[in-house]
Structure 1
Amino acid sequence: MSSEPVAVLWFHVTSVSPLSPIQLGIALGFLIPPVLVPNVEDMDKLTYHISIMFFMTAGVATALFILVVLVFKEKPPYPPSRAQALIQSQPAEEYSYVQSILRLLRNANFVLLIVTYGLNTGCFYSLSTLLNRMVIHHYPDEEVNAGRIGLTIVLSGMAGALISGLWLDRTKTYKQTTLVVYIMSLVGMVVYTFTLNLGHLWVVFVTAGVLGFFMTGYLPLGFEFAAELTYPESEGTSSGLLNVSAQIFGIAFTISQGQIIDHFGTKAGNLFLCSFLFLGSIMTGN
């Protein structure tokens, strides 16, 4: 489950971007596993290192579960937004989650956002999942640097999300900002695609950082844009639908890109993602 649907129930939608912890978790996911699990031929040593990583993950997850059970409250003392205030003021029997979803699906602009958000985020999920494989293919024995490249993507994306959020607070240009960031994600993906095999690892760091600034920075923009398009519906409902779209496209793109890389190479796999980012850019502009 993503943290954004929970965050929008606690914080105003314009504050969700910099507060969302999911990007930090992804960043640690890129950085820590290559350090804990080195590339060794001895299967016993490899199994030992993997078990340590799994036990650490289980320990952190268990601690978080205990904290949620003991500390986490159902809702904040005051509604974080007008939409949440309206929902909380209604009797429970008058609010229907199913009806809310049906109303959102009849909103043509929001449905378009669901698709374009899914395309962009699905590309990000696929790129993130297959990043280590692509980097190692062109730069053997660089597992740790592959993790650092992933860390660079997410950290630059966090900066992009913060800057985009501040820009939206000042200008309220939701569609224009979303379109610009979407197009720059496409440009960044094209540049990354054609520079990955140049043989210079520092180039990959730079291009991946630029790509992450816009692609990862786009993710929270979708939630803010959705809140504007769907008011007075709950931001949690619209965010949930965006996440469903992202997961569906992410699974499809990861499987498809993996198969393309197997048969045609990394460039063809990345061009596959570029084609869908191009489609998403056109749809966002309409």
Structure 2
Amino acid sequence: MTVEAVSLNRKDPVEAEEVEEKLGEIKLYKIRWVIIGIFVLYAAVSAVQWVQYSIITNIIVRYYGVTSIAVDWTSMISMITYPPLLLPGSYMIDRIGLRYCALIGVVGTAIGTWIKMFSVQPHLFILGFTGQTIVFSSQIFILSLPPKIASIWFGPNEVSTACSIGVFGTQLGTALSFILPPLIVRNHDNLDDIGRDLSYLFYGVGAVITPIVILVFIFFKSEPALPPSIAQAKLRLNKSEFTNKEFLNSYKSLLTNKAFMVLSFAYGMNIGVFAAVCTMLNQFILTYFPNAERDAGIIGLLLVVIGMVGVVVFGVILDKTKKFKEVTIALYVMTTLGIIAFMIALETYSKVLVYISACGLGFFQNAYYAVGFEFGVELSFPQPESTSSGLLICMAQICGVIYTILLGEFLARFGAFWALSLMAFFLSVGTLVTVIIPNRLLRQEALGLTGEKKTFLPKNKNRRH
């Protein structure tokens, strides 16, 4: 373990002395990197199943004899299951801690994955859909954890970077979900050959998730023995016994926090557009380039892989500058321009331009995923990170379902250009919404990194004068 040097930069020396006495020692433990690494692995295995069916929609339609809408639902189920599970999931995260929630999440992911291994028969689509539903029901213990893991285990100058690394797992899995199915499952004339390829795909994922369950069980811990930052030390100092009233009050606080709620609407629009476009990507690409299933997979891969670079780059930028609102606005503007560029590139029927525009779109839109998390924590501190990020994801999932349905309708009735134009409109509105978010960085104030002085000591503590 290493010890983090801490300086309480306070204007009131008496208050600073009192806080230092109460906080005690602050340390950073090397195992924090093991914790975040394991999380990246099991988040990736969950996310790798997101568009596992829909990126090869035309093949799945042939093999199982279902409609393309049914295949779209294998992706949309991830958005449908999250909102109703948000409240009980957040309750369990706050009640039983990171370790047990991680175990529930990884075991649920494994069970759903194993069920899909037995679904490779033309009449067993419903079994595969059941496995898919279990996998994504377990995501309630995955998607909202990166900011919580970052805050609980990492120092103040590492939090944004650690959160970005946590999000990296989901992005990595998403990237693989675009490229692996088209590479493994070919559009054979013989359905038995397609079934053989699907077995390779499902058994491969099952083989990966099994040892990860063991790693989570052995290494994953709820929190370090000593806090990694002043903010976490204060939260431990003020910590009281968990109660239902306290849990509900945290949601009440967030839902009445105007700045956070404005961000949640903007976040939902941005990530909702990304989810909708990714779900329908196979159909968009085949509209302009027939028999280009592998190109659809590669384009989806680039959307996410280049986006992972953006996640890390902007995570470091946030740690260095603390310009949360400014970075968020910049990413929103560039994402809007990216979707417009992608739309125009498709109209040129140039694969080269489509690939280039996809890289630009992915770089900025994926980076927004993690930056939005961190901005949400800043606006909502000292509320639990899992609660704030959970609400952001919930809004994104709701928007994702709505936008996917709208995108499908517009694609069928008006064509790809106008369908993507609708998405560009939503992103433009989201940019304007982001501009009006009040720039209150409550966590930075608690750390003494702004001009404001803000403490979170218990109200009933006697102060020395």
Q: Distance in 2 between matches of 1:130 and 1:81?
A: 43
User: Aligned partners of 1:91, 1:246: CA distance in 2, in Å?
Assistant: 32
* Compared CA separation, residues 261 and 123, structure 1 to 2 (3 A): same
TM-score (norm 2): 0.58
How far apart are the structure 1 equivalents of 2:400 and 2:230?
32
1:32 aligns with 2:180: yes
Q: State which of 172, 186, 200 in structure 1 corresponds to 2:322.
A: 172
Alignment-derived partner of residue 111 in structure 1: 261
Gaps of 5+ in 2: 1-138, 152-158, 437-465
More helix by share: 1
Q: Aligned runs of 1:75-154 on 2, under 5 Å?
A: 75-89=223-237, 90-93=239-242, 96-154=246-304
CA contact (8 A) 1:84 1:234 kept: no
Task: Please identify the structure whose Cα radius of gyration is greater.
Answer: 2
| Alpha-carbon distance in 1 for matches of 2:220, 2:270 | 32
CA, structure 1 residues 81+154, in 2 after alignment: closer, same or farther (shift >3 Å)? farther
Q: In the alignment, what sits opposite 1:7?
A: 146
> SS at the partner of 2:348?
coil
CA shift in 2, pair 1:76/1:133, >3 Å: farther
Classify 1:279/1:60 alpha carbon distance in 2 versus 1 (closer, same or farther; 3 Å).
same
- Aligned Cα root-mean-square deviation (Å): 1.9
- Indicate if the aligned counterparts of 1:87 and 1:234 stay in contact, CA closer than 8 A: no
Shift of 1:30: 1.0
**Matches of 2:184 and 2:242, distance apart in 1:** 51
**Superimposed CA distance per residue, residues 227-258 of structure 1 (whole angstroms, 9 cap, x where no aligned partner):** 11111112121111111111111111112211
Decide which of 8, 17, 37 is 2:164's aligned counterpart.
17
Aligned-residue offset at 1:171: 1.9
Query: Taking CA–CA contacts closer than 8 Å with sequence separation of 6 or more, which of the two structures ends up with the larger relative contact order?
Result: 1
Comparing 123-132 with 93-102, which one deviates more in the overlay?
93-102
CA contact (8 A) 2:285 2:292 kept: yes
Looking at structure 2, the residues matched to 61 and 240 of structure 1 have their Cα atoms a distance apart, in angstroms, of 24
CA distance in 1, matches of 2:303, 2:270: 15
* 1:261 Cα offset (Å): 0.9
CA–CA separation in structure 2 for the residues paired with 1:82 and 1:40: 59
> CA 1:81 to 1:31, structure 2 compared with 1: closer, same or farther past 3 Å?
farther
**Counterpart residue number, 2:350:** 200
SS in 2 for 1:196: helix
C-alpha distance 69-11 of structure 1, shift in aligned 2 (>3 A): same
Tell me the alpha carbon deviations over residues 40-72 of structure 1, each in whole angstroms, 9 at most, x when there is no partner: 232221122123212222333343334333432
User: Structure 1 residue 228 and structure 2 residue 378: aligned?
Assistant: yes
- Find out whether 1:67 has 2:218 as its counterpart: no
Matches within 5 A, 1:233-272: 233-272=383-422
Distance 1:44 1:25, change over 3 A: same
CA displacement at 1:82 relative to structure 2: 4.7
Q: Displacement, 1:144?
A: 1.5
Hey, what does 1:185 align to over in structure 2? 335
SS at match of 2:280: helix
Question: Percent identity among equivalent residues?
Answer: 35
Between the two proteins, the alignment pairs up a number of residues equal to: 286
Q: More displaced, 101-110 or 126-135?
A: 126-135
One-letter amino acid matched to 1:92: E
Question: More displaced, 184-193 or 227-236?
Answer: 227-236
One-letter amino acid of the structure 2 residue matched with residue 73 of structure 1: K
